[in-house]
Copies of this chain bind each other. A is one copy, B any other.
Amino acid sequence: MLVFSTAGESHGRGVFSFLDGLPAGLRVDRGVIDADLARRQRGHGRGSRMSIEKDRVDVLSGIRGGITLGSPVLLAVWNNDFENWKQYLDPWEIVEGRELHTPRPGHADLGGAARFRHTDLRNVLERASARETAGRVAAGGLLRSFLGSLRIHVHSWVTRIGPIAYDGTFAMQARDASSVFCPDDVSTREMERSIDRAAHEGDSLGGGFAVVLHGLPAGIGSYTQWDQRLDGLLSMHLMSIPAVKSVQIGAGIACAELPGSRVHDPILPSRPRSRPSNNAGGLEGGMTNGEPVLLRCTMKPIPTLTRGLPTIDMRDGSAVQATYERSDVCAVPAASVVGEAMAIIAVSSAILAGFAQPSMEALTAAFEGHRRYWEGL
């Protein structure tokens, strides 16, 4: 069983990822993790924080000479900005609170104040920050090596920013060349313009992204218990990304309008069994069916607007405008990288739940045995 948790505050010491349950003997590539971290920081529409932080993974435990030990792995992404915030966030003594009292619509501020009885909203927003997703991406980058060893590959791309949609297919090179991670040059330029316009108006934009997983044999996840279904697990992992408001699998919402005869993917007499269509998005009965797993998410616009939103001051209940200088205008490209990471984590969990072995050698043998069984079915 894979255990995955993060820790860390936005302007605190750093963001941390704790991973337990990885087999020993997995060869990990630092460059892959750092590349994912760098990708999360890029994207047209990011604010100034990204120029302060140059995220790199630091391994605190569990890896030696590039190989997992079987011990728990602890990763750190240190916050350079902590130096500037020490006096407000020191664990033991804070000089001055830099307190906040106006909850921002669209953020955790108000609910967090209610839940934990925090009067200083900084105590909420330091944790309920998109910076936490650096920890998810670091973990996803590490597990990318795990899935890669099992010949499973994961990609993502941006499918919409505000009014501009891209419905085409994925192409790695084109996506990497795009400032918004959209594998199409024309769409990219339109998306950039939309972002610039929103920035000019003090507004923000959301959008959509897709994640695809290739190379999964059938039978990952399980129909036998509701909470072991891979569709549910993937949903939870993706919907837990800050600002994600919808998750679709395969044809998703479009399934509702079509008759069954046009939705279900026939099974062909090939080996391994394959399908002429993939409306199921590679998931039937809560399990993989051998086709690529296809996921799509919607991200709402960034809730911190420079033009402000109506709110209250919690000290006296008066109506005020929530305004902040520094902010991203659009974080959909970054979110697509986080989506990739969360999909990687979900699928790694499902594999380690069903096909656990203490060493990578034994795990690979067992998993490839499963793959052969599937391919010969």
Contacts and interface: CB of A to CB of B under 8 A. Distances in A.
Q: How large is the interface on A (under 10, 10 to 19, 20 to 34, 35 or more residues)?
A: 35 or more
A217 B362 CA distance: 15
A52 interface: no
Nearest to A316: B269
B217 A300 contact: no
A5 interface: yes
Contact of A258 (B112, B118, B301): B301
Interface string A219-236: 111111111010111111
Nearest to A271: B317
- So how many copies of this chain end up in the complex? 4
A204 B114 contact: no
Nearest to A244: B231
A201 interface: yes
Interface in A290-323: 290, 298-303, 305, 307, 309-312, 314, 317-319
A267 B111 CA distance: 12
Interface string A95-125: 0000000010111111111111110000110
A44 interface: no
A221 to B, nearest CB: 8
Interface stretch (A149-157, A168-176, A278-286): A278-286
Among all A-B residue pairs, the 4 with the closest Cβ atoms:
A108-B285, A115-B219, A232-B240, A260-B301
A366 interface: yes
Interface in A194-251: 198, 201, 203-208, 217-227, 229, 231-240, 242, 244-251
A103 B267 contact: yes
A179 B34 CA distance: 49
